[in-house]
């Protein structure tokens, strides 16, 4: 079964600096096992599969897979999938506001020049992290509990817990464990000194299907949930730019804005770097 695909650079600040996403277009003939097999072979943090919408309010539907599991929502696959859908000839009913259907429901994506931005979805889990979880996090990161300014659940689909450290330098200095005894999905944020192009530095660590810990280059879902947390706690006010991927040689830039309805938008540059066809027959 031949399909077309695009490899999209998402949240990039120049080519090959963001988070790569593979988007398989016209995936209606693929079952769950085939989608997971393709995702594992590509070995990106996520691969997305474009399908016709089943909700009358959506322009298209997307299924998002990591090499371990399907996700109800993820940020860079949302923007990358929307970009690929438009590049493949998709025609939204509203040219300025595309509506994506995914596991978490309908997600609006707005288009402004060469940037796309999604509306941050509601958190599935929020609130403080208990002492046992904090101890697990500090052991994983190799820091003291006193190094954490605040910790909270910030889960909008992938399962994120988040901690805030005293500075961006402290975030970049982290040397976390390379494996963990159970699944971990952890975001860390710290503030940059004024005057740079980014207000915050973010890092995201997650367990893969083999139990190894990986660092994600740029994570839209985490940036969305951390933005909701920082705004709710009065730590930050939009707009701002967050940097991510610095520690692993990427230069991701995520733009956070807030509209007149107090809705947060998570945006960045998206660009197709490769495209072609593949035979995905079993």
pLDDT in 10s for each residue of the chain, 282 residues: 788 999 999 999 998 999 999 999 999 999 999 999 999 999 999 999 999 999 999 999 999 999 989 999 999 999 999 999 999 999 999 998 999 999 999 999 999 888 999 999 999 999 999 999 999 999 999 999 999 999 999 999 889 999 999 999 999 999 999 999 999 999 999 999 999 999 999 999 999 888 899 999 999 999 999 999 999 999 999 999 999 999 999 999 999 999 999 999 999 999 999 999 988 875
In terms of residue numbers, what domain contains 194?
Answer: 125-266
Q: Are residues 23 and 65 in the same domain?
A: yes
110 and 23 in a common domain: yes
Q: Are residues 133 and 71 in the same domain?
A: no
Q: What is the pTM of this model?
A: 0.94
Same domain, 98 and 202: no
Query: End-to-end distance of the chain based on CA atoms, in angstroms?
Result: 9
For residues 251 and 274, membership in a common domain is answered with no
Reduced 3-state DSSP string for 23-54: EEECCCCCCHHHHHHHHHHHCCCCEEEEECCC
Q: Are residues 158 and 257 in the same domain?
A: yes
Question: Does residue 176 contact residue 139 with C-beta atoms inside 8 Å?
Answer: no
Do 137 and 194 lie in one domain? The reply is: yes
Q: What's the total number of domains in the chain? A: 2
Q: What is the CATH number of the domain that holds 242?
A: 3.10.310.10
Sign of torsion over alpha carbons 187, 263, 108, 96: negative
Tokens at residue 105, please?
């429901």
Q: Are residues 139 and 258 in the same domain?
A: yes
Pairing of the two strands 97-102 and 60-65: parallel
Q: Could you give the CA distance from residue 44 to residue 152 in angstroms, rounded to a whole number?
A: 27
Q: Are 184 and 262 contained in the same domain?
A: yes
- Secondary structure (DSSP) of 125-165: EEEEPPHHHHHHHHHHHT--GGGEEEEEEEESSS--EEEEE
- Do 47 and 130 lie in a common domain? no
275 and 244 within one domain: no
Does one domain contain both 133 and 44? no
């Amino acid at each position: 079964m031949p399909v077309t695909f695009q490899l999209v650079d998402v949240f990039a600040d120049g080519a090959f600096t963001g988070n790569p996403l593979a988007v398989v277009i016209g995936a209606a003939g693929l079952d769950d096992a085939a989608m997971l097999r393709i995702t594992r072979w590509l070995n990106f943090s996520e691969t997305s599969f474009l399908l016709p919408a089943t909700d009358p309010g959506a322009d298209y539907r997307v299924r998002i897979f990591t090499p371990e599991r399907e996700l109800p929502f993820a940020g860079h696959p949302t923007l990358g999938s929307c970009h690929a859908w438009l590049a493949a000839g998709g025609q939204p009913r509203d040219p300025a506001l595309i509506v994506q259907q995914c596991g978490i429901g309908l997600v609006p994506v707005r288009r402004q020049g060469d940037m796309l931005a999604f509306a941050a979805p509601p958190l599935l889990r929020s609130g403080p992290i208990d002492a046992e979880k904090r101890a697990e996090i500090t052991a994983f990161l190799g820091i003291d509990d006193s190094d954490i300014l605040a910790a909270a659940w910030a889960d909008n689909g992938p399962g994120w817990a988040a901690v805030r450290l005293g500075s961006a330098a402290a975030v970049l200095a982290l040397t976390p464990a390379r494996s963990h005894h159970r699944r971990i999905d952890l975001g860390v944020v710290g503030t940059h000194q004024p005057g740079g192009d980014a207000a915050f530095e973010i890092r995201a660590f997650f367990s893969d299907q083999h139990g190894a810990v990986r660092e994600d280059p740029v994570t839209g879902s985490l940036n969305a949930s951390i933005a909701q947390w920082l705004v709710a706690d009065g730590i930050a006010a939009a707009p701002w730019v967050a940097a991510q991927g610095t520690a692993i040689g990427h230069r991701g830039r995520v733009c956070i804005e807030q509209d007149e309805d107090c809705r947060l938008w998570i945006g960045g540059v998206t660009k197709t770097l490769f495209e072609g066809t593949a035979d995905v027959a079993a």
